Amino acid sequence: MGDFLQQCRAVIGSQYVLIDEADRKPYETEWRQRYRGQCLAVLRPASTTELAGLVKLCRQFKVGIVPQGGNTGLVIGSVPDSSGNAVVLSLRRLNKIRAIDATNNTITVEAGCILSHVQEAAEANLRLFPLSLASEGTCTIGGNLSSNAGGTAVLRYGNTRELCLGLEVVNADGEIWDGLKSLRKDNTGYDLRDLFIGAEGSLGIITAAVMKLYPKPKAIQTALVALPSPSAALDLLNLSREKFGSALTGFELISAICLELVHKHFPDIPLPFSNSYSYYVLLEISDHESEEHAKQLTENVLGQALENGLISDAIIADSMNQANNLWKLRENISTAQAAEGKNIKHDISLPSSCIPDFMATTAQLLESHFSGCRLVCFGHMGDGNLHYNISPPVGISDQKFMFNQEAINRLVHDQVHAYQGSISAEHGIGSLKREEMLRYKLAVEIQMMRAIKSALDPDNIMNPGKIL
């Protein structure tokens, strides 16, 4: 492999071919530190042309390529396996904002741009780039596109796929496809763009993208609502859709134990209610008239919900600071649960009409098989997406409880399947959920996926072992 690495150095410069163990380590280790693989080298090109040159070499030498953006993915997709045969191809030096067309409401960015930088560039042009995730200070647009990331504004603006108009891609032959169109209508044959989005680097490497921008709302109003059950939350979702229309931009379900854990591990974040309730919804409205209008509308809708007995209490943020504190409660749930110990995670989606029934029947099954286990459920209920995580019963060691991981996954995913849901709503498949995906997808779906993979990547060099 000396010759291969030598030629890589000639393409991008020796300092951008990392082979020392200490340099490779952060690129080989996944975000949650559950897994570390091993690569031949980390390659850090600075341009699409350099990257294409590297892919040509990988194809020639039959070296697997693991594309990597911010490495915040949660399904062990952005790190290599333990063979030491593949390279990690880091996109982080491709980080330019190439153009902003405020009139066309589009921004053209390189794949390694950090998500928060794209948001800031939009803001500086009085526009909104609505994709928002807790990892936005580290994750990249290329990673967002490749995992078709969701986040907190999907309800109004859609997943990353819906925010993308055009792509530039380097395919497995090392050819550059310039598909950087900024059109909202283009029905000219198969949609290649949509093939690469959500492909987790298994079909080619996204090097740049044209993304949609939106007018900036005049006001954002946040409220935390207490309610008795998931069924009340579903009724509130429908009422909110009817009354707020497209102004409804966030609808996050939070179960009581989530706030208890956040309060235990982050006592500085204020708890807004003095009573405790079974469920909460964090609601966000983006208003295009005024702050006054947003507040009035929110008060009217929540006032009506309170009168009808749909909700038990509500707090409408009256300052940015209070709104931020309400969001902190939501954003720190995962970290608080991790501080409590290991847990078994599921990122599932269901038709929202099925959520109350799914939650009642699945909780019952879990209790009957794994008595005392703590269900920490929260998520983007407006999109039917729940993070359905299970912590050990109090007093039971992590090690003893994690022994049940496979059985718990089976129980939860069988339930999801029975309700015609998905075992991966927004995090993707990577290597973590590959076997689960194969288990639940139809044979004909897998067959078509394999046909696409072998047509575009016949030597299986693009993120080998991920998805399929």
The answer to whether the CB of 262 falls within 8 A of the CB of 338 is no
Token code pair at residue 252? 């996050």
Smallest gap from residue 182 Cβ to ligand FAD (A):
19
Contact status, residue 346 vs residue 424, Cβ threshold 8 Å: no
Closer CB to ligand FAD, residue 205 or residue 213? 205
Closest CA to 71 of 430, 441, 335: 430
Tracing tokens 């490497």 back to the chain, one arrives at 205
Question: Which among 80, 102, 105, 103 has a CA at the least distance from the CA of 90?
Answer: 80
Give me the residues paired with residue 87 across strands: 41, 65
Q: Minimum Å distance from CB 364 to ligand FAD?
A: 28
Least gap, CB of 436 to ligand FAD (angstroms)? 16
Provide the residue type at 86 as one letter.
Answer: A
Least distance between ligand FAD and beta carbon 203 (Å): 8
Q: Considering the complex, what minimum distance in angstroms separates the CB of residue 71 from ligand FAD? A: 4
In this complex, which beta carbon is closest to ligand FAD, that of residue 43 or of residue 206? 206
Q: Which stretches of the chain bind ligand FAD, using CB under 6 A? A: 31, 66-74, 77-78, 91, 111, 133-135, 139-140, 142-144, 146-147, 149-151, 200-201, 205-206, 426-427, 430, 463, 466
Q: Which residues, listed in sequence order, are joined to residue 140 by a DSSP beta bridge?
A: 114
If the CB atoms of residues 45 and 312 are measured against ligand FAD, the closer one turns out to be 45
Place of tokens 């090392």: 174
Residue pair 243/301 in contact by the 8 Å Cβ criterion: yes
Q: Nearer to ligand FAD by C-beta: 287 or 457?
A: 457
In the complex with ligand FAD, the residue whose CB is nearer, 200 or 340, is: 200
Q: Nearer Cβ to ligand FAD, position 45 or 70?
A: 70
Of the two residues 222 and 312, which places its CB atom closer to ligand FAD in the complex? Answer: 222
Reduced to 3 DSSP states, what percent helix, strand and coil does the chain have, rounded to the nearest 5? 40, 20, 35
The whole-angstrom separation of Cα 426 and Cα 67 is 19
- Of the pair 70, 230, the CB lying nearest ligand FAD is at 70
Distance of CA 453 to the CA centre of its chain: 23
Rounded to whole angstroms, the Cα distance separating 120 from 239 reads 33
Of residues 307, 301, 300, 250, the one with CA closest to residue 280: 250
Shortest separation between residue 73's beta carbon and ligand FAD, angstroms: 3
Minimum Å gap between C-beta 117 and ligand FAD is 12
The pair of three-digit structure tokens given for residue 357, joined into one six-digit string: 């029934």
Give min distance, CB of 289 to ligand FAD, in A: 28
Distance between CA atoms of 412 and 406, rounded to whole angstroms?
10
- Residues 54 and 56: their CA atoms lie apart, in Å, by 5
- Pairwise CA distance, residues 254 & 326, whole Å: 12
Nearer to ligand FAD, 168 or 287 (CB): 168
Tracing tokens 């580290």 back to the chain, one arrives at 138
Of 204 and 392, CB closest to ligand FAD = 204
Strand partners, 205: 170
CB of 365 to ligand FAD, least distance (A): 27
Shortest distance in whole angstroms from residue 292 CB to ligand FAD:
31
